[in-house]
């Protein structure tokens, strides 16, 4: 199957039947297959697909909204109680579990 608009294959042909083939070499082979019909590599090839663009923009907007919500909640906490220590404590309490579980994942995962 070939994309008629950009003239590159939509499905890359990778031979997964080889035993002992590492994930890195498969990824390298996939990235080498993202070329235009003339042989030029396509920069950000995934962004040429409509569904991925929608997913990418929606994810970026969701992350931005989450970060804005955090800043607003910390600012309101500071305005309500006029305590930078309490606002700092709220930030610390919010992010400590993520850092703790991430370190456990890195060690045991």
> Percent of the chain having pLDDT more than 70?
63
pLDDT digits (tens, 9 = 90+) for 75-90: 999 999 999 999 999 9
Rounded distance, CA 8 to CA 32, Å?
12
> Percent of the chain having pLDDT more than 90?
41
pLDDT of residue 76: 94
- Which token pair is 9? 């294959």
Residue 41's pLDDT band (cuts 50, 70, 90): confident
Name the residue with higher pLDDT: 76 or 22. 76
β-sheet bridge partners, residue 35: 41
Q: What is the mean pLDDT of residues 16-43?
A: 59
Instruction: Find the largest Cα–Cα distance for the chain.
Output: 64
Q: What is the mean pLDDT of residues 37-56?
A: 83
The model carries a pTM of: 0.54
8 A C-beta contact, residue 91 and residue 74: yes
pLDDT of residue 30: 55
pLDDT of residue 48: 86
pLDDT of residue 81: 95
- Which token pair is 63? 């992350």
């Amino acid at each position: 199957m070939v994309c008629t608009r950009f003239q590159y294959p939509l499905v890359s042909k990778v031979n997964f039947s080889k035993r002992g083939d590492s994930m890195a070499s498969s990824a390298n082979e996939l990235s080498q297959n993202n070329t235009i019909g003339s042989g030029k590599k396509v920069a950000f090839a995934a962004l040429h697909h409509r569904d991925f663009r929608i997913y990418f923009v929606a994810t970026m907007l969701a992350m931005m909204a989450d970060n804005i919500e955090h800043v607003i909640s910390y600012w309101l906490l500071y305005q309500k109680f006029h305590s930078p220590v309490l606002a700092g404590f709220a930030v610390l309490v919010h992010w400590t579990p993520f850092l703790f579980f991430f370190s456990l994942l890195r060690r045991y995962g």
